[in-house]
Structure 1
Amino acid sequence: MSTALTKMQTSVQKKPIRCKSRRRIAREFVLQGIYQWRLAGGSAGSIEEQLRQAGEFIRADELFFTNLFKGVMCDINNLEKTIQPFLDRSLTELSPVEYAILLLSTYELIHFLEVPYRAIINEAIELARTYGGSDGYKYVNGVLDKLAVKLRVVETASKM
């Protein structure tokens, strides 16, 4: 198992265990996969296989995980281009956790239109609070709020 994935799983174990939805668990695994890829490289297929072997994976929404992880990994360049204009720094300056959360949340905003944008942003904030730096969730929230206005024009206009 890679060092990046082990480090991420260790930080997961330090947090109090709460009842999580199957989709939340799937998002956590997607976050771990992107994090590992960003720090250690490797193929998406081998990373996915490692994640699927984790004990808690059985509790994840497998179809949601597959669609989200494969979608993000196949579309990283476009996702980065979509995110970059909303950042106050380069992508390389983002923490690996913030980077991963922004990628997976942007993919959800674009491709999972049945999920309300506020739910996607709230999930991203929770991931950032759990796995990110002390104020990382504020940054993620700010970026995704602006991004949602661009990507979900009709939905965000009706909420304002």
Structure 2
Amino acid sequence: MSTTPAGSGRPVQGGAKPPARSARRRSREFAVQGLYQWLVSREDGGVIEAHLRDAQGFDKADYEHFQSLLYGVIRSLDELHAAIEPHIDRRLEELSPVEHATLLLGAFELARHPEIPYRVVINEAVEVAKTFGGTDGYKYVNGVLDRVAARLRSVEAGSRT
């Protein structure tokens, strides 16, 4: 049994496992799920958190970061909408709830977590959008958050506004 395709000289990727998700990535994924639920139902954040804590894999998430994201976005909703709205091509109500939740998460991290490089914030939001969003939703999230970063982190992102 060969480990390289004929003539390619490259190893076969067949049975390779994808890289493990970090605790921070998991916290973002659970936060987007919670924000989705909150946007759709406006259920209490504590009730949403209790549901998510029972979900498979939650124990591997960064719990403090998850709480910061879920409750921080809910508390800062108006401010985050003000940061996002100038950069979207439709009304907030017309965004898919997954894109909306992911944009809120990314905008919150850009605004409130300066210790996380803006490129990491955008990349993580894009990866979450790829996991939960529509086919090209991640492209939309990337474009919007890139413009939000240019405004919220103009020195770090290079003033592109």
Indicate the TM-score class for this superposition, using the shorter chain for normalisation.
0.7 to 0.9
Residue number in structure 2 paired with 1:126: 127
Letter in 2 for 1:121: I
Residue number in structure 1 paired with 2:145: 144
What is the number of residues matched between the two proteins? 144
Q: List gaps (5 residues or longer) in structure 2.
A: 1-16
Residue number in structure 2 paired with 1:38: 39
After superposition, the Cα gap between the structure-2 partners of 1:65 and 1:50, relative to the gap in structure 1 and judged at 3 Å, is same
**Is the contact between residue 151 and residue 159 of structure 2 (CA under 8 Å) also seen in structure 1?**
no
Q: List gaps (5 residues or longer) in structure 1.
A: 1-15
Q: How far apart, in 2, do the equivalents of 1:102 and 1:158 lie? A: 20
| Mapping for residues 10-159 of structure 1, pairs under 5 Å | 18-157=19-158
Query: Considering only aligned residues, what root-mean-square deviation do their CA atoms show, in Å?
Result: 1.7
- Structure number with greater Rg is 2
For residue 55 of structure 1, report the CA deviation from its aligned partner.
2.7
Question: 3-state SS of the aligned residue for 1:55?
Answer: coil
Question: 3-state SS of the aligned residue for 1:81?
Answer: helix
**Quick check: which one's helix share is greater?**
1
* TM-score after normalising by structure 2: 0.85
* TM-score after normalising by structure 1: 0.85
For residue 17 of structure 1, report the CA deviation from its aligned partner.
6.7
Letter in 2 for 1:71: G
Question: C-alpha deviations, 1:20-60, integer Å up to 9, x for none?
Answer: 00000000000000111112221111111111122311000
Identity of paired residues, percent? 50
Structure 1 outlier segments of 4+, above 6 Å: none
Question: C-alpha deviations, 1:108-150, integer Å up to 9, x for none?
Answer: 0001101000000001111111111111111111101111000
Q: How far apart, in 1, do the equivalents of 2:18 and 2:159 lie? A: 36
